[in-house]
Structure 1
Amino acid sequence: MTAVRLSLTALASAFALIVTSCNVAMAQKTYDIGASDTEIKIGNIMPYSGPASAYGVIGKTEAAYFKMINAAGGIRGRKITFISYDDGYSPPKTVEQARKLVESDGVLLVFNSLGTATNAAIQKYMNEKKVPQLFVASGASKWNNPKEFPWTMGWQPSYQDEAHIYAKYIIKHRPDAKVAVLYQNDDFGKDYLKGLKDGFGDKASMIVAEESYETSEPTIDSHIVKLKATGADTFISIATPKFAAQAIKKAAEIAWKPLQFVSNVSASVGGVMQPSGFENTQDILSAAYLKDGADPQWNNDPEMMKFLAFLKKDYPDGNRLDGATAYGYAAAQTLVKVLEMCGDDLTRANVMKQAASLRGFTPDTLLPGITINTSPTDFAPIKQLQLMRFKGEKWELFGDIMSGDLSN
């Protein structure tokens, strides 16, 4: 009997040891460089200077948002260290800053860095290093290529989808239009121009003029004069904020009054429309996926009220009229969601796995009816927009939520 009791005791002890070991294994935390029990290091690259400096507001908004998250206890007790560098919208500088973030600062990931040409310059590097280049702040279609670039994911709607929507609208409502296009001579402008031509399809001859500009040019006035001379009655401006505002003002100055479209990246009331002079911006068209802080219809919207409360308490320098502020807030909110989904597995591979597992996620500043969805084969989180027209001192949404799918 004694031997039996001893065997049972030994068996119970062994079982307890196994259970304890399993619990320890289950509770084990897994980290890559840039993450620990107390910290998550996030890298970012923004044009705080240079021709696209208006977008620097995005990085400042994100810094304020992460500071708010830290003040509330962080993410599962871990505080975010947000390291954001200026690249002046210059690809060689972007490469330099990306290497610094990855090799010197040891960030877990690089988040929402801005620009098409700038991000294209570091895409191969980030993928070779297997460091997430997550929620790129650019609508280029190349960010949705998980097979070739599994460590790169976009965030906003693609430029091509947006261009398809404008082409659909023009074909339906102005079938005899003569379209002039101003575009930035880089990956951003060319990607968008391709979307326009694809959107027009066999009616691409409606585009009667294409004029490109360089970001190094101090002014694009001469390009607008040339486009007017073509007799075009419809004008699509594929430009970043500084140049979009110049285009609007110059068109007004030379009394050119075409039906005018501005790309979403330059639809900010505070960043483009107001500096252009509200008298010059009436009836301009664009498309949106974010709520406009200038639109009073959102004043009592529960989610928008959270955003406005954030501006008041955590980012008092933030301008509710600047679309870049709503953008930075929503992008930061999306990253926090992904990091929460990671739990205690804060590896780079798991960050990408969770980013590719978003279902029906809606940041506070996204328009109703638009949600974020991803999968291992779909790295395009936002795919819908709604057309809008500028009236008075704000945008007015109209029509249904649209996708850029040309098969519809």
Structure 2
Amino acid sequence: MKTMGVVALGSIVALTLAGCARGGDAGNGDDTGGESAPAASPGITDDAITLGVTTPLSGATAGPGNCTVAGLVAYFGQAGPIEFGDGKTREVKVEAFDDAYDPQKALSNFQQNQANVFAFTAGLGTPTNRAYREAAIEEEVPQALVMTGDPLFSDRDESPWQLGFVPIYQNEGAAFGELLAESGEDHKVAILFQNDDYGKGYVEGFKEAIEGASNIEVVKELSYEATDTSVDAQLTELSASGADVFFNAMSITPLAIASIEKARELSWTPSWFLPSNTSSPGAILTPAAANPEDGFYSVSFAKAPQSPAFAEDEDVKGFLAALEEFSGDYTTKPDFPHCMWSYMVGATLEKTFKSMTEPTRENFMESLTDISGFTAPLMLEGTSIDTTQEGQPAVAAVVVQRFNGKGYENADTFE
């Protein structure tokens, strides 16, 4: 377990856990008019609030996993103590637990630490977040702004204790499909998808968007398991399909790099559609020697520090400075978009905290789900935070972009 206490001005405030059970007496309620204020939930006192993150800090997805903590730590390190809506100023502490992208470890992390943290947030992964979802509902522990596009986490009728942060996978897939269908040109598409809700969600959105588009034909569709160490056989079969577009719904960084390298070995040069979390120029495209002339497309809602277009952007400069100063235990290199996403999560949480009038998990969720039109730092033009939409995560809109050899630029048309 890595633990980062985000402390302003070098002062360390000891954390006193508020009660060991839901609704336990924390001893910090005020007596107003003869009525006691609601007892504080676990993980919050008058001086501090503790957030938990279960995420892959080791293994094949450690790169983006560490970023889910780094941006959060950077944001609260930069922000310092925050004045909540109840008038109390609190230090925000972040505790990170390694689950290595293993659902059983994620569940264990929750079970061992749910009594000590106020809410779980920012953690990466559909299978890992799903692993402790039912337990979080039963224990009434917020699972807020987590890094999964699984629509289950945005179903308010199903549970008031969850909310996803990133766009649902169907939205990303649909953005690709719409761009392709609107090209007006005939295209043959090969699909490789991760055989779980992540991969299937992307494909579902893509297919719905091209339904009725006579210029688009899916000529081959294969799957792989998240535990696979190679997809060479699938790439070989897909390359023989005659497809000029490759929709690669993949979440595993080493396999994404290997896919690009294998396609080059096979002399297959399709245009690529990549999910937002496996499209990093620095961590995937450049190491794989991706040729921008082939056409590599992805979607985003965050400014990419690697892009020359944002070299002088004030948001980006502030983010990079905060990452360098506060996030050394995780990463100071924003090679994955999750670094930027978790920084935005921090800003969204701060806005939530400032609206909280009671130190309870219930009031936290009420405040969190009442945000609309909020432009968090690093957000691209045309995107914003809106937590009020039933069936949608905090971010619903994305912008399709094309890799230009250094970073991404907006792609209004498919070329």
Q: Does the CA-based 8 Å contact 2:74-2:323 persist in structure 1?
A: no
CA–CA distance in structure 2, aligned partners of residues 58 and 320 of structure 1:
7
Identity, in percent, stands at 26
> Measured at CA, do residues 276 and 23 of structure 1 come closer, stay the same or move farther in structure 2, by a change above 3 Å?
farther
1:50 equivalent in structure 2: 59
Assess if the C-alpha contact under 8 Å between 1:293 and 1:322 holds in 2.
no
* Residue matched to 1:272: 284
Counterparts of 2:194 and 2:380, CA distance in 1: 28
Residue 187 (structure 1) shift: 1.4
Task: Give runs of aligned pairs for residues 50-89 of structure 1, distance below 5 A.
Answer: 50-62=59-71, 64-65=73-74, 68-69=77-78, 72-75=80-83, 76-89=88-101
Q: CA deviation at 1:61?
A: 0.8
Answer whether contact 1:287 1:386 (CA < 8 A) is retained. Answer: yes
- In 2, Cα distance between equivalents of 1:321 and 1:202: 38
| C-alpha contact 2:151 2:392 (8 A) present in aligned 1 | no
1:213 positional shift = 0.8
Q: 1:380 to 1:258 in 2, by over 3 A?
A: same
Quickly say closer, same or farther: Cα 1:93–1:212, change in 2 above 3 A: same
SS in 2 for 1:40: strand
The yes-or-no answer on 1:390 pairing with 2:408 is no
Alignment partner of 1:219 is 2:227: no
- Tell me: CA distance 1:96–1:364, structure 2 relative to 1, closer, same or farther (3 Å): same
Considering only CA atoms, is the larger Rg found in Structure 1 or Structure 2? 1
In the alignment, the residues of structure 1 paired with residue 164 and residue 241 of structure 2 have an alpha-carbon distance, to the nearest angstrom, of 36
Give the 3-state SS of the residue equivalent to 2:401 in structure 1: strand
1:323 maps to which residue? Answer: 337
Tell me the equivalent position of 2:13.
Answer: none
Among 302, 306, 309, the alignment partner of 2:321 is 309
Alignment partners' CA distance in 1, 2:199 and 2:233: 18
Q: d(CA) in 2 for partners of 1:377 and 1:232?
A: 37
Is the 2:146–2:164 contact (alpha carbons within 8 Å) kept by the matching residues of 1? yes
Inter-partner Cα distance in structure 2 for 1:138 and 1:352: 18
Aligned partners of 1:30 and 1:339: how far apart in 2? Answer: 17
Quickly say closer, same or farther: Cα 1:67–1:170, change in 2 above 3 A.
Answer: closer
The question of whether the paired residues in 2 share the 8 Å contact of 1:356 and 1:378 is answered with no
Q: Gaps spanning 5+ residues in structure 1: where?
A: 1-19, 401-408
Letter in 2 for 1:94: A
- Specify whether residues 253 and 100 from structure 1 end up closer, same or farther in structure 2 by C-alpha distance, changes over 3 A only: same
1:346 partner SS: coil
Match of 2:244 in 1: 233
- Amino acid paired to 1:58: C
Letter in 1 for 2:221: E
* Matched residue, 1:120: 130
Q: Give 1:358's aligned amino acid.
A: I
Quickly say closer, same or farther: Cα 1:56–1:21, change in 2 above 3 A.
closer
> TM-score by structure 2 length?
0.84
Which whole-Å CA distance do the structure 2 matches of 1:45 and 1:22 have between them? Answer: 38
Shift of 1:313: 2.9
1:255 aligns with 2:264: no
- Are 1:342 and 2:353 counterparts? no
Separation in 2, partners of 1:25, 1:368: 47
The answer on whether the counterparts of 2:190 and 2:243 sit within 8 Å (CA) in structure 1 is yes
* CA contact 2:308–2:406 (8 Å) conserved in 1: no
CA–CA separation in structure 2 for the residues paired with 1:174 and 1:51: 39
> Which residue does 2:307 correspond to in 1?
295
2:158 is the alignment partner of 1:148: yes
Instruction: Tell me by how many angstroms 1:25 deviates.
Output: 6.3
Q: What secondary structure is seen at the aligned counterpart in 1 of 2:287?
A: helix
Task: List structure 1 runs of 4+ shifted beyond 6 angstroms.
Answer: 23-26
Counterpart of 1:357 in structure 2 is 370
The separation in 1 between residues aligned to 2:340 and 2:33, in whole angstroms, is 43
Give the drift of 1:22: 4.8
The DSSP-based 3-state class of the residue aligned with 2:89 is coil
1:94-123 Cα offsets, whole Å, 9 max, x none, are 1111111214xx211111221111112222
SS at match of 2:273: strand
For 1:180, the equivalent position in structure 2 comes to 190
- The whole-number CA distance in structure 1 between the counterparts of 2:388 and 2:310 is 31
Post-superposition Cα deviations, 1:141-184, rounded to whole Å, max 9, x if no partner, equal 22110001211101111110111111111112154211111111
CA distance, structure 2, for counterparts of residue 31 and residue 49 of structure 1: 34
CA 222–355 in structure 1, closer or farther in 2 if over 3 Å, else same: same
In angstroms, what is the RMSD of aligned CA positions? 2.4
Q: Secondary structure at the match of 2:68?
A: helix
| C-alpha contact (below 8 Å) 1:249/1:280 kept by paired residues | no
Gap runs ≥5 in structure 2: 1-29
Count of residues in correspondence between the two structures: 376
Q: Deviations over 1:55-84 (max 9, x none)?
A: 1222341453265157x3345432222221
Structure with bigger helix share is 1
Residue 3 of structure 1 aligns with which residue? Answer: none
Question: Cα offset for 1:282?
Answer: 4.9
Q: Is the 8 A contact 2:187 2:245 kept in 1?
A: yes
- Secondary structure (helix, strand or coil) at the match of 1:361 reads coil
Report which stretch shifted further, 153-162 or 50-59.
Answer: 50-59
Select which of 161, 167, 187 maps to 1:157: 167
**1:366 maps to which residue?**
379
- Amino acid across the alignment from 1:143: F
AA at the equivalent of 2:255 = F
Structure 1 residue 237: Cα displacement: 0.7
Residue 237 of structure 1: SS of its match in structure 2? strand
| Residue 39 in structure 1 maps to residue 48 in structure 2 | yes
* 2: CA distance, partners of 1:175 / 1:279: 22
CA distance in 2, matches of 1:338, 1:67: 13
Distance 1:116 1:284, change over 3 A: same
* Residue-by-residue CA offset, 1:354-393 (whole Å, 9 max, x unaligned): 1101121112111022110122745521111111111122
Following the alignment from structure 1 to structure 2, what is the Cα–Cα distance between the partners of residues 174 and 315? Answer: 46
